[in-house]
A and B are shown apart, each in its own frame.
Chain A
Amino acid sequence: MGKYILKRILIAIPVLIGITMIDYGIMCLAGSPLEMLQGPRISEAAVEAKAVALGLDKPVYIQYFVWLGQLLQGNMGYSIKSYQAVSAMIGSHLGPTLLLMGVSLVVGLLIAVPAGIYSAVHQYSAGDYTAVTFSFLGSSIPSFFLALLLIYLFTVKLGWLPSSGMSTLGTSGSFLDVARHMVMPVIVLAASIAGRNIRYIRSAMLEILQQDYLRTARAKGIGRFWVINKHALRNALVPIVTVVGMEIPVLFGGAVIVEQVFSWPGLGLMTMSAITSRDYPVIMGVCLLSAVVVLIANLVTDILYALADPTIQLD
């Protein structure tokens, strides 16, 4: 087991280095942040001085190594726009995003897992068709459109829920206030999580229900309830772990759009404004962070597989 984890980490390192290089390459393609400065009121000399100050006069690969070296010392660089440290900016925006992602993931799974198992156990029943149709709808509706529909319904027509931000302006944000602000973004993210995964869990469960060990369990007469909730569920853990592992990178991206529509003050909103103002160090920092998270998520998924299913061979 230890050997396996070590091997996986060793494979992840070149991937990580490759990620930083691709990332840096893309950023260099983007053009210089100095273009934003240029205008009739700024002299050539001032632009050049700025370039030297930002280290942009050196060749690309040296800039890359300088950045990488600083990174290893825990310094992710400084925002070109606001001069704040990137790590501090990410740190202050990470909380709201993690809160939103965590709650959405839990809500999404609480819908997807029972619905998927129910529709597998009651295959071709009305409930099954309802769950599968909902699943198709959830994975076919663009998140921003669902967000707009919800805002139209709950904020404009009914006036029940606030449509933007994380807490009411001027208040420090009590638990209830934050929860009210969270309802709609969570619905949007959870609907897409559930939509993507109900069918997945359903088909995984259908396969499990046909296995020999379930026939044995049924044959020994412990009753339908225990067959499903003890024997089948334990084996359904593997697809559920897969789902969680697959959702984490998707959530990172999905949060960008949802945070933008609901002005949720998280990483996604920060990234969008960094992208529009071409603030490379910030974009780089977010990309790197999310890539690391994805790598770790993949690794953890593989290890959890082994724990959930002892028959999986690690090599």
Chain B
Amino acid sequence: MKQKIIDPLEKDMISESYFQTVFRRFRRHRLALASFIVLALLGGAALLAPVLAPFGPDEIVGTFSGAPCKEFLLGTDQIGRDVFSRLLYAMRVSLLVGILATFISTAVGVVLGLAAGYFGGIVDMAVMRFTDMVMSFPYILLVLVAASIFKPGMWSIILILGFVDWPGIARLVRGNVLNLRETNFVKGNLIAGMPLGHILFSEILPNTVAPILVYATSVLALSMLDEAALSFLGMGVRPPTASLGNMLNGAQSLTVLTRQPWLWIPPGLLIVILVMAINFIGDALRDALDPNSRR
């Protein structure tokens, strides 16, 4: 009698749902797991800023530029505000800017990429040439010019970053759609006469979510870096609202740079930690979501 041999790998795949596989693979990246915990803690601290912060972000509570002490954990700034409290609120603003900008650019990129890839022809030409144009401008130059035109502030920064960051996602989605359009299940849908909206959003989009998610994490990291750079140059989030970037703005003065490191090192380190954690998670997601991986 012939016995059916079950490949142990295959058995694994059968007994495990997709999300279980992804989670198992993700967990093996210890750095990513640690990053996830760090990010969750920092994000929680940012969300709970009103509860955790000992003082209000704009409250003048101590001496000018006081060194760190028991009452003011990270000292006070030039006009006597508590740096630790401001840091919590700044993290809130920076994360919000990054996340919203990423949402906007992902949405724009997905819609344009879907349209270009699915319709092809003139639509594809127009969208891709427009993408080329936007990509030809040095990114920071474009953002700086836009930031100097619109009234600086948190919301305009979110919109600017959101509407500048999409070309990468549009290209990615377009490429995936071009591949998916040739698959049998999409052709089957076409023959069955399914409505276009259904084919695009319920058949094609779910199959390209994984790479979009991975790309979006890198967009998130970049948006947070850009927000910081813009605010540092005085063209982003405006004081008195604190953002991680504009808290570093003071370090352009030599006194702050040399004598008051507690004013600029903590926000700078916090940016590095946040962005690095996001990058690690993105990297682990890339491995975990890779459909060609056999592990």
Q: Which residues of A contact B (CB under 8 A)?
A: 11, 14-15, 18-19, 22-23, 26, 29-31, 136-137, 139-145, 148-149, 151-152, 156, 199, 249-250, 252-254, 256-257, 260-261, 271-272, 275-276, 278, 283, 286-287, 290-291, 294-295
Contacts and interface: CB of A to CB of B under 8 A. Distances in A.
B139 A253 contact: yes
B249 to A, nearest CB: 10
Interface of B: 129-130, 132-141, 144-146, 148-149, 221, 225, 228-229, 232-233, 245, 248, 251-252, 257-258, 261, 264, 268, 271-272, 275-276, 279-280, 283
A125 to B, nearest CB: 16
Contacts of B130: 18
Given A140-B272, A145-B272, A286-B141, A278 B258 contact: no
A261 B137 CA distance: 22
Nearest to A28: B149
A30 B137 contact: no
B140 A295 contact: no
B129 A140 contact: no
A18 B76 CA distance: 50
Q: Which of A26, A144, A250, A278 has the most CB of B within 10 A?
A: A144
Given A18-B129, A148-B248, A254 B140 contact: yes
Contacts of B221: 140
Contacts of B271: 141-142, 145
18 contacts: A23-B137, A140-B221, A141-B271, A142-B272, A144-B232, A144-B248, A145-B272, A148-B251, A149-B268, A152-B261, A199-B283, A249-B135, A249-B136, A275-B144, A283-B145, A286-B141, A290-B137, A290-B141
Contact of A26 (B146, B252, B268, B279): B146
A148 B268 contact: yes
Given A143-B229, A260-B233, A249 B279 contact: no
